[in-house]
Amino acid sequence: MKDKMIIGRYLPYDSYIHRLDPRAKLLATIFYIVIIFFANNLTTYFVMALIVLLGIHLSNIPVDQFIRGVKPMFWLFVFTSVLQMIFTPGITTYFEFGIISISKEGITNGILVFLRFVLIIFMSILMTLTTEALRLTDAIEYFLTPFKKMGLPVADLALMLSIGMRFVPTLMDEAEKIMDAQRARGMDFNDGTVTEKIQNLVPLLVPLFNRSFDRAIELATAMEARDYQGGDGRSKYRELKWSIHDTFVLGSFAIFFVIVLNLRR
């Protein structure tokens, strides 16, 4: 199961992308998603795909890791694209039946929607595979800091977020162990009808929640025992450092944006 879950994982290679500041990667990813909504023809999508491929190449991570990340959602994407295909009215219609119409425009649109999903997922996976969860939280905390003046408890939010992130792998491990133990008692999680499949989750979720509550209480006790008084004014173990490369990457995205604006229909 852990092997399949690629989203939320970090692969500790050493690469240009790994070394970028998490703030730069977060901004670049958001920027990318914004730009892709401006892309509306094959040429612009080609440019967007090139950007991701360049990123993947620079990250030293094998492409199959990304493909594995898309796999769980593959059919959902196909389904959405097919809906786009048959419900988009077009000029050059090949086939029509009631509200269903298959046209040249519809097919192009469907393919583009599919590509958009895949590219956004690839880009997000590129960010999470190359950035430790805690560094990402640091970046989020940084961007939230201006809201402190409005009374937002930024330090506490960041702590909650980083604790949450910190325990994702722990929970995954735990889930895997519990599933193993129930499988060893003859459970087949993929067996049966939809209702049975949902019932099958009980032997997994009950122990998982039970352990999570225990863990939360233990953690709170441990923090109080060390006299934790809230996060305001605490210094950081790892400071974020913005470098010329980060500026360069964001600058490149600005150029990509201009290119896409010029090439779009």
Partner 1 sequence: MDIQFKNVSYTYEAGTPIQHTALNNLNLTIKPHKFTAIIGKTGSGKSTLVQHLNALLKPTEGVVRIGNRSITPTTGNTQLKALRKMVGTVFQFPEAQLFGQTIAEDIMFGPKNYGVKPDEALAIAERTLKMVGLDASYLERSPFDLSGGQQRRVAIAGVLALEPEILVLDEPTAGLDPKGQHELMQLFSRLNTEMGTTIILVTHQMEQVAEYADDVIVMEEGTVAKQASPREIFSDSDILANNYLNVPRTVAFSNELAKAYGWNLSDMPLTTDDLAVDLMRYFKAKKEARYEG
Binding site for partner 1 (CB under 8 A): 3, 11-13, 62, 64-65, 174, 177-178, 180-188, 202-204, 206-207, 210-211
Q: Which is nearer to partner 1, 152 or 205 (CB)?
A: 205
| CB of 214 vs partner 1, minimal distance in Å | 10
| CB of 136 vs partner 1, minimal distance in Å | 19
Q: Which residue has the tokens 């913005």?
A: 242
Residue 23 structure tokens? 């703030």
Q: Which is nearer to partner 1, 198 or 206 (CB)?
A: 206
Euclidean distance between CA atoms 231 and 130, whole angstroms: 27
Please report, for residues 155, 223, 227, 228, 239, the alpha-carbon distance to residue 231 in angstroms, rounded to integers and kept in the order given.
5, 12, 12, 8, 16
Residue 221 structure tokens? 């006790």
Q: Which is nearer to partner 1, 58 or 259 (CB)?
A: 58
Q: Which amino acid is at 265?
A: R
| CB of 130 vs partner 1, minimal distance in Å | 12
Residue 219 structure tokens? 């953690």
Q: Which is nearer to partner 1, 192 or 230 (CB)?
A: 192
Euclidean distance between CA atoms 200 and 178, whole angstroms: 12
Q: Which is nearer to partner 1, 40 or 60 (CB)?
A: 60
| CB of 2 vs partner 1, minimal distance in Å | 8
Residue 117 structure tokens? 């999903």
| CB of 121 vs partner 1, minimal distance in Å | 19
Closest CA to 126 of 72, 60, 188: 60
